Amino acid sequence: MPLVAAAARAVGNDPALWQWAALLHRALDDNVAAVAAFERAARLNPNDARIAHGQALAALDLGRPATALFDRARRLAPSDGDILLGIAHARHADGDLVGAIAGLDALLVQHPGWLPGHHLAAHLRWLAGDRAGFTASLERALLAVPRDQGLWHALILLLLQAEAHERVLDAIRRGRAAAGPQLFFDANEAAAAAELGDIATADRIFAAIGEIDDMPFTVRRVRHLLRSGRIEQAAALAERWTRRPDANLIWPYAGLAWRLLGDPRWQWLEGDERLVGILDIGGALPSLDALADCLRGLHGDRQEQLDQSVRGGTQTRGVLFARAEPQIRALRAAIVEAVTAHIAQLPPHDAAHPLLGAPRPRAIRFSGSWSVRLGAQGHHSSHIHPAGWLSSAFYAALPSLEQRGAQPAGWLALGVPEPALGLELPPTRLIEPKPGRLVLFPSTMWHGTIPFDRGERLTVAFDVAPGLAEEG
């Protein structure tokens, strides 16, 4: 960053250098500087669609009105799908969810095979509360091109995300009739049957397919084995897949199987107390009340998102730590310091361990950051963050003790498997929330929250990215 910024200032009139400076600022969550650099690049080269697109994205990240900037980028590159998606995101951020959906629908009528557009349209419809019709654009497209396997693929995966397993089976039946037999249909029929508890059907289809080189399919098979009580088989299968680059998807299930079997490897995976950090950092912030007020203003949606763990609440859009509000910048700085301290006390490097085997970052980078606001009976269903390295919960505002109900209402529960697995395992650790408290834990560790009676629970969460290989 310093080298590119210095070069941009020294040369002065090179739009590419200012563009690269802006991209680096954005990667470091410094979007005020990113917007300024993009504006400089755009003045030097006003006809460059990528510069215009970057300027719009940085403004959207900051929470500034960005629809006009995306419209300008679209005039420079009318068929750029990423820009078209950006327009929908900007309209949504402006509070025009209906307009965002309508704009995508108009494009999807013209381009029924545009899968990213269908994906976003489904997520926006879900946010609008349309649980029955959230896949409407895909269903309409399949009437026009019923043999398009990509459309069937997208429809089935979205229904799986929604845990609409009966609808998954219906879509598979229709897909086979229209597009013919496909391994994808078979694999997801097995998954849906397993999630519905139809053990015999799932067994038959999983056996017919055999083992294939696909991590999500293997996770579905392990889930089925766990749910049907074949713990040793689940452990053996999961273990074989823990050496792959995408093993974060399978580690949580290996941990459950080992714990159920009394295998000491569970203790190696999750039992060391140093893996979980509890840090009270409220004193490092100017005002928790001001932070809470700032966060409340960012919760513009009224429904939970399709693919998140929130139940009875809302989650903010975009990258929270990319915003410029002073309360959020102060929180980010305090969190960077706390995360650095937590990493410093972790157990020694262990190449076989999903957390301890990853390179430790010299500079803290975040792979996602957001806020969650829960109301009465709100909670997080138990889940994992396979794209993260360290995950978190920071408590900005909480219901009173009276509002929460009997302990441990509202507490963070670690080690409880997803309820759909049907496994009777208690928490390995219960952590009491307190305003200003930050909890850190491995991203592969199951975590959720216990519902509380009433009041408001306002939190910030983020995933820390591991270090780069050369940092190790």
CA–centroid distance for 442 within its chain: 15
10-residue mean pLDDT profile of the chain (472 residues): values are 93 95 93 95 97 97 94 97 98 95 97 97 96 97 97 98 96 97 97 97 97 96 98 98 95 98 97 97 96 95 81 90 95 98 97 96 93 90 93 97 94 95 94 98 96 95 87 50
- Map residue 369 onto helix, strand or coil: strand
Q: Cα–Cα distances in Å, from 184 out to 139, 199, 251?
A: 18, 19, 24
Name the nearest CA neighbour of 79 among 59, 51, 107, 101.
Answer: 107
Which residue type sits at 176? R
In our burial notation (b when 16+ CB lie closer than 10 A, e otherwise), range 156-168 reads bbbbbebebbebb
Which residue type sits at 372? V
pLDDT of residue 472: 47
Domains of the chain: 214-264 (no CATH), 273-471 (2.60.120.620)
**Which residue has tokens 């290989």?**
469
Rg of the chain (C-alpha set): 23
pLDDT of residue 469: 65
pLDDT of residue 470: 55
pLDDT of residue 305: 85
Name the nearest CA neighbour of 461 among 343, 398, 373.
Answer: 373
Give the C-alpha separation, 45 to 179, whole Å.
47
pLDDT of residue 336: 97
pLDDT of residue 149: 96
* Global pTM value: 0.94
Give the C-alpha separation, 231 to 98, whole Å.
47
- Map residue 36 onto helix, strand or coil: helix
First to last CA, the chain: 21
